[in-house]
Structure 1
Amino acid sequence: MKKTIYSLCAACCLLAALATPASALDYTVDAPEAGLFGTPTSDDTQYITRDEPVNIDRSKTAAVIPPAFGSPTSYTLNSGTLLTPNLVDQDWAAQVTVSGNGTGAVVMPPALSGGAVSSGGSSFAVTQYTEVTDDLYYFGGYLGTLKIPAIGLSVKVYQGTGSATLAKGAGHFPDTSIWDGNCCIAGHNRGVRDDFGDLHTLELGDTVTWITKLGTRTYEVVSVQKVLETDDSGTASTTDNRMTLYTCVRDQREYRWQVQAVEVK
């Protein structure tokens, strides 16, 4: 009997619990006080102007990926690769010049006359440089062929200026451009090879031809001079396209013959 009573009580309690209506807690959230949120940091508005100062663009379309650290253009103002070239104003993009052979190209602002670019109303010269890449080598490991008709020279040019390299032909200075700008090449004038044996006999106006996978260029000799072995100013980057050639001076170890030729246009 007691068991039956306990069972009935338990059933009644269960029914009472199920019959109680469910209700959610009531709560409210106060609005934040003024000044808790900053202004948006994104700005998609373009500010490209046609008057001075030109090319004022604060949007993401003007973002530029900087050149690699230590590269020839790493310290050049406004150099780099456009982050979103497809969004750049087309009138401006049509004037953009790209140096290099397409690999790791450097995007420069529109050029003014005289090989300069504008920055805030002032202009400055832009040096040119083309990096040596794997696709520029010919079968056989050379970079190009140098021809100087006045001294009957035709020699293959390899990368580097070490003894092993110059035993094969002429050598390209690794830190200089291979095409646009100042291309510097060295060669022996006696001993194992004498490719540049008559280099110092060149006269102003003699032509130098440089044949590479990037094309063929003809240069005209503008200077023939003797410089100190420690003088490396002739290997500096230039705003024009030129060829600088070096060889030893016979019996004068502290000097080098330096021949410079500029592109014939």
Structure 2
Amino acid sequence: MLCTLCVGQASALEYTMNAPDDYLFGRPTSDDTIYEWENPNVDRSKNTALIPPTFGSPTSYLPGTGTPLTPNLIPGALTGGGLVTQTGGVTYPTVGGSPGGNSGAGSAATGWTDVTGDLYYSGGHLGTLKIPAIGLSTKVYQGTGSSVLAKGAGHFLDTSIWAGNVCIAGHNRGVRDDFGDLHTLEPGDTVTWTTKLGTRTYEVVSVQKVLETDTSGTAATSDDRLTLYTCVRNQRDYRWCVTAVTK
């Protein structure tokens, strides 16, 4: 009898589960969501972000008040050309030679290569700058105006493009962030400059802060070097200047 009970077929348990009543679930408090009625054309990026005023201050309760998170992007900051700082456009003084070109600032004794029409790539740039230490690879265009630096780095008018001292500027935040980590470079870091004339590798020898009006770093030189410039955050009167010479 015991054996008969053990080998008998077991039937599966059968049960049912009713769904809970509707009132047991939370319901939305509105008929739509913020994403359905919010204006999609309003700029809500960091370009317009504000740091709230101090709690309890006279304007703390007013909407739209505060300090811009990225003040170099406030309306009008890009007008006037040149590198962008926190308070407006900045232009570098002309180094020498003709205002629109780069002929005449150097000589055979100092090392010099003019920017000529055959040196431009089909995309309109003059070369490509690479700095592995900061993960940078950017195209370089002629000039340092706002429209140029919105596309990539810019080659200083009236400086050499190959032989001697090649000078390049770039943004470090805002419209572009090509040179955002330029000031973190250390002596020995490598920089590669590629143009239609070839590719050169340079080694960083100095990283320094200079006055905006100091153009000594753009002077023509007898040795082959790169001089790179970008703004110093929150210090309108200064620039980071990186010098690199051929290895």
* TM norm. shorter chain > 0.5: yes
1:126-165 aligned within 5 A: 126-165=109-148
1:71 is matched with which residue?
A: 104
Deviation at 1:72, TM superposition (A): 2.8
Q: Hey, what's the Cα distance between the residues in 1 that align with 2:221 and 2:137?
A: 25
Q: Hey, what's the Cα distance between the residues in 1 that align with 2:244 and 2:105?
A: 22
Question: As a proportion of its length, which structure holds more strand?
Answer: 1
- For the residue of structure 1 that corresponds to 2:151, the secondary structure is coil
From 186, 189, 199, the counterpart of 1:216: 199
Cα-Cα RMSD: 1.4
From 235, 252, 262, the counterpart of 2:235: 252
Q: Hey, what's the Cα distance between the residues in 1 that align with 2:206 and 2:161?
A: 20
Cα pair 2:104 2:158 within 8 Å, conserved = no
1:161-180 aligned within 5 A: 161-180=144-163
1:189 is matched with which residue?
A: 172
Q: Hey, what's the Cα distance between the residues in 2 that align with 1:72 and 1:228?
A: 22
Q: Hey, what's the Cα distance between the residues in 1 that align with 2:203 and 2:175?
A: 28
Q: Deviations over 1:189-239 (max 9, x none)?
A: 000101000000000000000010000000000000000000000000001
Larger Rg: 1
Deviation at 1:187, TM superposition (A): 0.1
Deviation at 1:243, TM superposition (A): 0.1
2:182 is matched with which residue?
A: 199
In structure 1, stretches of 5+ residues that fail to align are 1-67, 77-98, 100-125
Q: Deviations over 1:104-134 (max 9, x none)?
A: xxxxxxxxxxxxxxxxxxxxxx201100000
- For the residue of structure 2 that corresponds to 1:211, the secondary structure is strand
Q: Hey, what's the Cα distance between the residues in 1 that align with 2:234 and 2:141?
A: 26
Q: Deviations over 1:17-69 (max 9, x none)?
A: xxxxxxxxxxxxxxxxxxxxxxxxxxxxxxxxxxxxxxxxxxxxxxxxxxx9x
Q: Which amino acid aligns with 1:147?
A: K
1:7-156 aligned within 5 A: 71-73=104-106, 126-156=109-139
Q: Which runs of 4+ in 1 moved over 2 A?
A: none
Q: Deviations over 1:81-101 (max 9, x none)?
A: xxxxxxxxxxxxxxxxxx5xx
- Matched residues, percent identical? 77
User: What is the aligned length?
Assistant: 146
1:48 is matched with which residue?
A: none
1:234 aligns with 2:240: no
TM-score of the superposed pair, with normalisation by structure 2: 0.58
TM-score of the superposed pair, with normalisation by structure 1: 0.54
Q: Hey, what's the Cα distance between the residues in 2 that align with 1:259 and 1:71?
A: 24
